[in-house]
Copies of this chain bind each other. A is one copy, B any other.
Amino acid sequence: MILYGNWRSLATYRVRVALALKGIPHEVAAINMQGNEHRGAAFKALSPQGVLPALDDGHGAVLFQSLAILEYLEEAHPTPALLPKNLAARARVRGLSLIVAADAHPLLVPRVREFLQQEAGLHDGELKSWLDRALLTALDAIEANLHASPDTGEFCHGDTPTMADICLASHLIAAQFFKCDTSSYKEAQRIFANCNLIPAFADSHPLKQPGAPA
């Protein structure tokens, strides 16, 4: 199994955490996102969308989209589980994951920031306002859900980490990158702190990867 990713990519971080939690042996291939290697012909021949991460499953398939990869890892390596057993509970965990991965993160990625600045002419303050809005709108929804649900525990759903925690952690790291203050989201912060007590999360932090700035 080969994980194609980049130290800074938060979607890559999600897969890195899942591989570590499940203890799945794999190689890492660093793609130079800063140099646009993921948009080049060689990488697109591997994964036509040209975004990170991609996972070579070792049997001829190259998987793409972080949540699809997490579902694959869950199905191929069920223990420890990243989804609960109850069907409505699984839907809650997936729903929380998608608030991050589907509703918020796509608004933060380099190609969107480039468009907004270079083509739509947003100045720095307007871009910051855009990024804050995306980050905090998702956190409002997640925090409300965490407060409202009797299933919230040490983690988003119960007392062991699930996909939702992986996505929430990626979101709060994004907020750190973009200097967005999320300290008032007490439930989210509590759970993020619990995640970071686990080596699979802590050691997967973007700034701890080869190539990251000191």
Contact = CB atoms under 8 A, between A and B. Distances in A.
Given A59-B88, A88-B63, A120-B120, A144 B48 contact: yes
B130 A115 contact: yes
Contact of A48 (B102, B105, B145): B145
Q: Does more than half of chain A's interface fall in helix, strand or loop, or is it mixed?
A: helix
A92 B94 CA distance: 18
A87 interface: yes
Interface string A41-53: 0001000111100
Nearest to A94: B68
A201 to B, nearest CB: 22
Interface string A80-121: 000000011011101101110111111100011001100111
A78 B205 CA distance: 37
A49 B111 CA distance: 26
Contacts of A111: 137
A55 to B, nearest CB: 8
